[in-house]
Structure 1
Amino acid sequence: MTIKFFGLLTHEHSSETIPKQPGGPVMDIDYMVKQAQAHEAAGFDRILVAHHSSNPDGILLASHLAQKTEKLKFMIAHRPGFIAPAYAARMWATFDNLYPGRAGIHVISGGNDAEQRSDGDFLDHDARYTRTDEWLEVFRKTLTAPTPFDHEGSFFRYSKAYSRIKALQQPYPPVFFGGASDAAVAIGAKHADIWALYGEPLDDTRQMISRIRNAATLAGRDPASINFVVSFRPVVGDTEADAWRKADQIIERIKELRGEAFGTTKGAKPDAVSSQRLRDIAAQGKVRDKRLWTEVAAAVGGGSSTTGLVGTPEQIADSLRDYHKLGISNFLIRGFDPAADIQEFGQGLIPAVHELLSRDEKAAVGA
């Protein structure tokens, strides 16, 4: 099973330990281009372009960055419902033709009611997933239908919908999906090519994979057709002690920046089931399994990807191998100092993972 590494591209230089600069550009174009190029040079296969209701548009950002890179692929986050699905299908097909085979759509139905409403969406959580189901049905059909088609559903209505332009990736660009609620699993299992998971303990990850694949079977799909990407925040050191010193410094910096908000859900996504899961996992201990580090998740309320792996490149590679054995073929890794960590991952961690798995494959053949 081939391992691929994804990164995350932000539109400004910031993280849990690096505050946004007052008066700084909301969209630092030079920074984004350098970061995209750094990911490509470091051996990343794809980058996630995230979405937030107040941030720059993801597909336009990805289009600009695709011009500045050669082969880096994109996982462009998109919230269904704001752009009609047939129109969105033509957007992604156009992108995939302009930048051959580099498009990907990460479908996020929205886990925070307040943020959804700031963009004009007043549907409740489960209704958003019902809309996503219909949206993806039309999106995929638009990219595959050889002739015009009609559609009349609860949210969208079409007469003779058709797209002359089709994606180069057949039958359509990969559909990424995320979510841990019952509604998310039921809908995503019908449509997802690659399911995005936060970094959880091995047993929890195994159970989540089983839950999603069982739902795929109920939906009439081959459960093995769904692949997975798991997100981690690696903290790498020359020695394990060095790595833990870095981890302690990260927590102290977060504590300094968050002040009274430290250890609360302020700034997180408290409505999201996946965030609630991270908070529950963090409450069970600072370190889970060999080296799954939960302190950041506890410090910031579980929002986003906030669980780490702490150790040397070889130790973290060994932990990633454990997830690989569960059937994980993709890892989204990002650090707390985006500029420096990309290079560090490319020089140490990514080669260590490939070397370890290559040795495993050779040993299996020899056996």
Structure 2
Amino acid sequence: MKILWFIPTHGDSRYLGTSKGARVADHAYFKQIAVAADSLGYEGVLIPTGRSCEDSWIVAASLVDATRRLKFLVALRPGLVQPAQSARMAATLDRLSGGRLLVNLVTGGDAEELAGDGQFLDHAARYEESAEFIRIWREILARSHDGGSFYYEGRHLRVKGARLLYPPLQRPYPPVFFGGSSDAAHALAAEQVDTYLTWGEPPAAVAAKVADVRQRAARHGRSLGFGIRLHVIVRETEDEAWRAAAELVSELDDETIAAAQARYAQMDSVGQRRMAELHRGRFNRADIRDGLEIAPNLWAGVGLVRGGAGTALVGNPQQVAERIQEYAALGLDTFVLSGYPHLEEAHRFAELVFPLLPLATREGLAAPAVTGPFGEIVANSYAPRAAQR
């Protein structure tokens, strides 16, 4: 099982939908989170993309020297950059980071944002372009290890003698992640990507998506990994966790929720529509679980005002670990998590839930290079007693 965290390059806060408790989205804060994730044993960090975010490639490059093992899941955006240039960027970052690059293919679902970036293709055409993009990207990188060139002519993209002189460290190329809920997305995932990511839908819905993508991949003679994108709100007790969830949305007003939902409804993303259907804009301030706890410990309240990943696992450490294991039993091995605020929640989740999960990264942390007592020394003399799990 691999657990990744999140760098909030679009901003962070203790409360959703308000500037109260907000934090400046600057490099110093991104670095704090990256260093925390690295030292705590997270597999990597997702760096988001879009006009609301700092550029994911530059942010990742800026954090390489601040970290040792941490991997960076960075966005590929077809239509915004040519695949050959993107392949060079990927090879360079993979080399400079010592093979710590992961890439996230993003087709986009906000027509207004895409138009601002010069992308005017409709949903179907974007997926056609994305399929051509990632095929070219993969071939250029794969052939770079033996000096080969690549020729391709498609409906949207073409290259003639594309070549890369400095290959990536990872062979044949850095792993490709991709998420999408439409038929076209499932087809693309089955044919070309390494890990398919779903947003945090209830287990039955996730199981159906995994089964569909797996069957499609088998028809191509392929197998791929599966992962999920979720928020987490974990506390020592279940009551504390639900109180924390209530506090997170305590500053929301109906106008902000309505405006956000109207905006998301304009998008052509099937995944975004499925997220909205989980809550339908309902918000009972007296009972935040009413209509929003869509499966045991799975809460859709984040999606009231946040696009994309809109669900959170809420509960005590044992409950959250059990829910994660339920998803793992469906075939998921990668969990891309986040929580508000991201620095504190990275520590809290690692300290409370990591010991309950089968994580290979914990083996490296079990025998740290620096030895000695762990925890604050008691009365200037006594080492803290070992925690009982």
TM-score by length of 1: 0.88
Which segment is superposed worse, 168-177 or 276-285? 276-285
Matched, 1:226 2:217: no
**Would the alpha carbon gap of residues 339 and 27 (structure 1) be closer, same or farther in structure 2, given more than 3 Å must change?**
closer
1:301-322 Cα offsets, whole Å, 9 max, x none, are: x621111111111111011111
Q: Which amino acid aligns with 2:102?
A: G
Which of 281, 287, 295 is the equivalent residue of 2:293? 287
The share of aligned pairs that are identical, in percent, is: 31
Shift, 1:27, TM fit: 5.3
Shift, 1:16, TM fit: 7.8
Higher Cα radius of gyration: 2
1:209-252 Cα offsets, whole Å, 9 max, x none, are: 0111122233x132xx2111212211112111111111122222
Q: Which amino acid aligns with 1:286?
A: L
Instruction: Please identify which structure carries the higher helix content.
Output: 1
Match of 2:331 in 1: 327
Q: Which amino acid aligns with 2:325?
A: R
C-alpha separation between the residues in 2 aligned to 1:324 and 1:198? 14
Structure 1 alignment gaps of length 5 or more: 359-367
> Is the 8 Å Cα contact of residues 176 and 195 (structure 1) preserved in structure 2?
yes
Which segment is superposed worse, 35-44 or 321-330? 35-44
Structure 2 alignment gaps of length 5 or more: 281-289, 363-389
> Is the 8 Å Cα contact of residues 12 and 25 (structure 1) preserved in structure 2?
no
Matched, 1:209 2:215: no
C-alpha separation between the residues in 1 aligned to 2:179 and 2:114? 16
How does 1:1-367 map onto structure 2 within 5 Å? 3-11=1-9, 13-15=11-13, 17=15, 28-145=26-143, 146=146, 147-218=148-219, 220-222=220-222, 225-253=223-251, 255-256=252-253, 259-263=254-258, 264-266=260-262, 268=264, 270-283=267-280, 285-297=291-303, 299-300=304-305, 303-354=307-358
TM-score by length of 2: 0.83
> Is the 8 Å Cα contact of residues 45 and 70 (structure 2) preserved in structure 1?
yes
SS in 2 for 1:231: strand
C-alpha separation between the residues in 2 aligned to 1:161 and 1:198? 35
C-alpha separation between the residues in 1 aligned to 2:75 and 2:29? 20
> Is the 8 Å Cα contact of residues 278 and 292 (structure 2) preserved in structure 1?
no
1:12-44 Cα offsets, whole Å, 9 max, x none, are: 64258256869x998511111111101112221
> Is the 8 Å Cα contact of residues 12 and 24 (structure 2) preserved in structure 1?
no
**Would the alpha carbon gap of residues 54 and 331 (structure 1) be closer, same or farther in structure 2, given more than 3 Å must change?**
closer
Q: Which amino acid aligns with 1:281?
A: L
Which segment is superposed worse, 35-44 or 168-177? 35-44
Shift, 1:115, TM fit: 0.8
C-alpha separation between the residues in 2 aligned to 1:51 and 1:354? 30
> Is the 8 Å Cα contact of residues 175 and 192 (structure 1) preserved in structure 2?
yes
CA RMSD of aligned residues (A): 2.3
Shift, 1:70, TM fit: 0.8
- What is the aligned residue count? 345
SS in 1 for 2:12: coil
1:98-142 Cα offsets, whole Å, 9 max, x none, are: 111201110001111111001011111110110011111110110
